[in-house]
């Protein structure tokens, strides 16, 4: 049987703007429509950030609520993952979306340099976010930007703050962060699985590395993340016309590797998400 692969679509993020690619969904309606198209194309997880009326990243709970309810109307079974990421947001508001009880939320387990800033995740902030997710049965996606974050995630598992099985995402190709290299991904998978044998994982690449990390993920047993948050181009010469176009590209890659595209029900099973929300 073909291995089912989960495609996550990160539709908006904190960084890309309309001037970079007019297809980046910024308003609530654009985000709902873009998610619907990505879902139809095969995405089973949508990763959400929200923007204010000026297009800047924000933590507005009302915006999150509108996006989530709109998505649920058109994509009733898609897995909704909100971001607790840091760019352009106050640390004390980064968990704002968790009151809405999404299926999943991102959780970075350490700090790292981004191209123009420090992505700061203090031990207290990490513990607070993990505790809230645990209380609300929100599955964390552990965002791994550096090797030490794997060991800290395991530490939090031992403390009972992160439940097993754990899902990690390894992020490559950010300037000042990890280069997109197979050898590094292999070390990360090996180390994470040494401590967390039931681990599921996704490898993602930023910009032009998106597609090469998807290929590596498929060849090494992982899942895929795509979307305009990480990469605004379909290829070297063309902007991506939509999030759905990037999902189609990812789905075609799955086929090339003899994998099937997991539907949301299969994705929930793969991630051991048993609670219906």
Enumerate binding residues for Mg ion (CB under 5 A).
83, 85
Is the Cβ of residue 82 or residue 217 nearer to Mg ion in the bound state?
A: 82
C-alpha 190: how far from chain center: 21
| Least CB distance to Mg ion at residue 14 (A) | 7
- Are the beta carbons of 44 and 78 closer than 8 angstroms? yes
| Least CB distance to Mg ion at residue 174 (A) | 12
Burial 112-133 (b: 16+ CB within 10 A, else e): bebeeeebebeeebbebbbbbb
- Are the beta carbons of 224 and 38 closer than 8 angstroms? no
Is the Cβ of residue 114 or residue 151 nearer to Mg ion in the bound state?
A: 114
Is the Cβ of residue 85 or residue 102 nearer to Mg ion in the bound state?
A: 85
| Least CB distance to Mg ion at residue 49 (A) | 6
| Least CB distance to Mg ion at residue 41 (A) | 19
| Least CB distance to Mg ion at residue 269 (A) | 24
DSSP for 174-231, please give it: -TTS----HHHHHHHHHHHHHH-TT-EEEEEE-TTHHHHHHHHHHHHT-EEEESTTT-
- Comparing CA positions, the residue from 230, 202, 208 lying closest to residue 14 is 230
User: What residue number has its CB nearest to Mg ion?
Assistant: 83
Q: Which residues, listed in sequence order, are joined to residue 94 by a DSSP beta bridge?
A: none
Is the Cβ of residue 85 or residue 222 nearer to Mg ion in the bound state?
A: 85
- Are the beta carbons of 140 and 162 closer than 8 angstroms? yes
Is the Cβ of residue 114 or residue 195 nearer to Mg ion in the bound state?
A: 114
What's the token pair of residue 255? 């086929």
| Least CB distance to Mg ion at residue 127 (A) | 20
Is the Cβ of residue 152 or residue 204 nearer to Mg ion in the bound state?
A: 204
């Amino acid at each position: 049987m073909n291995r089912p692969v989960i495609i996550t679509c990160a539709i908006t993020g904190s960084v890309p703007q309309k001037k970079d690619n007019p297809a980046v969904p910024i308003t609530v309606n654009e985000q709902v429509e873009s998610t619907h198209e990505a879902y139809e194309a095969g995405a089973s997880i949508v990763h959400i950030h929200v923007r204010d009326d000026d297009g800047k990243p924000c933590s507005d709970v009302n915006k999150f609520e509108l996006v989530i309810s709109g998505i649920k109307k058109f994509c009733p079974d898609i897995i909704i993952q909100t971001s607790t990421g840091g760019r352009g947001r106050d640390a004390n508001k980064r968990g704002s979306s968790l009151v809405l009880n999404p299926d999943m939320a991102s959780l970075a387990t350490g700090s790292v340099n981004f191209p123009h800033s420090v992505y700061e995740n203090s031990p207290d902030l990490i513990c607070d976010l993990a505790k809230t997710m645990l209380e609300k049965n929100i599955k964390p996606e552990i965002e791994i930007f550096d090797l030490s974050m794997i060991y800290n995630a395991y530490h939090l598992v031992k403390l009972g703050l992160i439940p097993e099985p754990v899902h990690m995402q390894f992020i490559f190709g950010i300037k000042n962060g990890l280069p997109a290299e197979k050898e590094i991904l292999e070390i990360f998978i090996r180390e994470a699985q040494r401590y967390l044998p039931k681990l599921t994982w996704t490898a993602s690449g930023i910009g032009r590395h998106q597609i090469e990390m998807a290929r590596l993920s498929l060849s090494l047993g992982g899942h895929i993340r795509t979307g305009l948050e990480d990469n605004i181009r379909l290829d070297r010469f063309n902007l991506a016309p939509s999030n759905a176009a990037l999902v189609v590209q990812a789905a075609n890659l799955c086929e090339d590797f003899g994998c099937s595209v997991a539907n949301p029900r299969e994705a929930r099973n793969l991630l051991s998400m048993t609670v219906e929300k």
